[in-house]
Structure 1
Amino acid sequence: MQLIECPWCGPREEVEFHYGGQAHVAYPEDPAALDDEQWAHYVFYRDNPKGRFAERWSHAAGCRRWFNAVRDTATYRFESVYHPDQPKPVIP
């Protein structure tokens, strides 16, 4: 069982968390101006790299808060966690 560090609750078992997708995806400034293809791209298309990746996570069985994490998708190892209002870290 892997421990994930919740920024508010501390380390907890991974079964308490839910994955929320790619972090730092900006909402369109004028969503009404998007055509169907542009809207579909915003809703469905996400990066899928092998290696370090910024993601959103929810502590669903704990404080129920959202946070961001940098996780290596090849090893599943969490490298850092941070509050959603903090800027995206530089990922080489």
Structure 2
Amino acid sequence: MRITCPLCGARDRREFYYKGAALARPAIDAGPQAWDDYVHLRENPAGRTKDFWQHEAGCGAWIIVTRDTVTHEVYATELASDVKRSAGA
């Protein structure tokens, strides 16, 4: 599988470290159940997902990869900081 780093270009998957699903964090004042769900409950979907990856053996950037867990096709990559800014966070 090849992942395109927005800063470095297309690279082998082995340069990246998978960090988990790209989920929205609960509000700081969310109750304990919301935080427990965020930390401990994860789906294991077959199909399209958005995940956090770090370009560990490259520039170190955090990116969000939209990919298919069945076919390993990568649909899009974007800097996590750009996604956060566009979400108004």
TM-score (norm 1): 0.77
SS at match of 2:49: strand
Across the aligned residues of Structure 1 and Structure 2, the Cα RMSD in angstroms comes to 2.0
SS at match of 1:60: coil
How many residues are paired up? 84
The structure with the largest helix share of the pair is 2
Change (3 A) 1:75 1:17: same
Q: Report whether the alignment pairs 1:75 with 2:71.
A: yes
Runs of 4+ with >2 A deviation: 37-40, 85-88
The equivalent residue for 1:56 is 52
The equivalent residue for 1:10 is 9
TM-score (norm 2): 0.79
Change (3 A) 1:27 1:65: farther
Alignment partners' CA distance in 1, 2:21 and 2:8: 22
Alignment partners' CA distance in 1, 2:40 and 2:59: 28
Distance apart, 1:68 and its partner CA: 0.4
Distance apart, 1:76 and its partner CA: 1.5
SS at match of 2:66: strand
Distance apart, 1:49 and its partner CA: 1.4
Quote the sequence identity (%). 37
Moved more, 76-85 or 55-64: 76-85
Matched letter for residue 53 of structure 2: W
Alignment partners' CA distance in 2, 1:11 and 1:51: 22
Can you list the C-alpha shifts for 1:27-79, whole angstroms capped at 9, x where unaligned? 43215xx33x4432111212321111111110001001101011101111111
Matched letter for residue 8 of structure 2: C
